Structure 1
Amino acid sequence: MECGGFLKPDERPVTGLTTLAPLTTLTTLTRTEPGELRLPRSGWLLRIARGSAGRPALEVHSGAGLIDVSVMTTLSVSPLRGGRHSGRSATRWSVAWGQLPPGADVVEATFRGWRHGLSVQALTVADAFWVAEVGDRFRSVTCSAGTTLVTARVVREPRPRSR
């Protein structure tokens, strides 16, 4: 299955009670193999696969291995599946991902920290999922898609497995 429907990232400050500052511009995702995308800051790999009944599935892989598998469904949509950050590594990044809710074609992800935050338009993957990656560490992320608004904590990336 081909990955499609990519949107240009739109990093801009969000007005509100806290001061939110824009960070560096999100670079283009790298296609490694058909149906695979590599995130530029974290190096994480997204794979498009087939789930049960031939439905699209998104596999999220970090340096530690498989983090999440989301199969497209209309029964119980998980608009925000997860959020991770780089921890104490030299390269600072945060990433969030989820499934597009029915009727929503654009997702805005707002990452928040203690003193700052950043709102970006997420990239649509395979017309069923979304991913957002930014160049700093944040504590929470809020996903806004259509009438859906979901917030979750952004946790540290798991340690890579030793082989």
Structure 2
Amino acid sequence: MHSTVSLDQFDIKILVHLQRAGRCSNVDLAAAVGLSESPCLARTKRLQETGVIRGYGADVALEKLGNHLIVFCEVTIGNHRLSDFARFEAGAGRYPEIVECYNVSGGYDYLLKIVVPGMGHFHALMERLRDDDIGIEKFVSRIVLRQPLGQRGYPVSLLVTGTPGWE
């Protein structure tokens, strides 16, 4: 079980704003959430120190980098001992093309999000994964045709207070 951190309305506003504008200055953040600069900075540091804010990153526009393919793969592994899950996860973690990996319930064991330059690269990746003998019994691939909604940040207010808080 993960430990939770107690958050108030200002912490929630800070998180919501930083998801939208992670590069904003503390002055701009304080103004956006209705705090003075010093308490805003202290709260942001506390959110970082407690691990609520894991880091900051760039939202890269893949279409500006050239051809790419996003593929979701449903992976079933052959055995279900803890060591088998660990072997698969360690093996999948060696490939930078696998940008997200979820252990899920249902008809398969893992959902992978894969980003590659094209179909040939994806095919070669799947061959390498099978050759690595990391326990893959079966996989089903789903190629993304378009993305009508992108990553919009997490619904922080809903998760903390139970109310949507359409900020």
| TM-score tier after normalising by the smaller chain length | under 0.3
Higher strand share goes to which structure? 1
Highest Rg: 1 or 2? 2
| TM-score, normalisation: structure 2 | 0.26
| TM-score, normalisation: structure 1 | 0.26
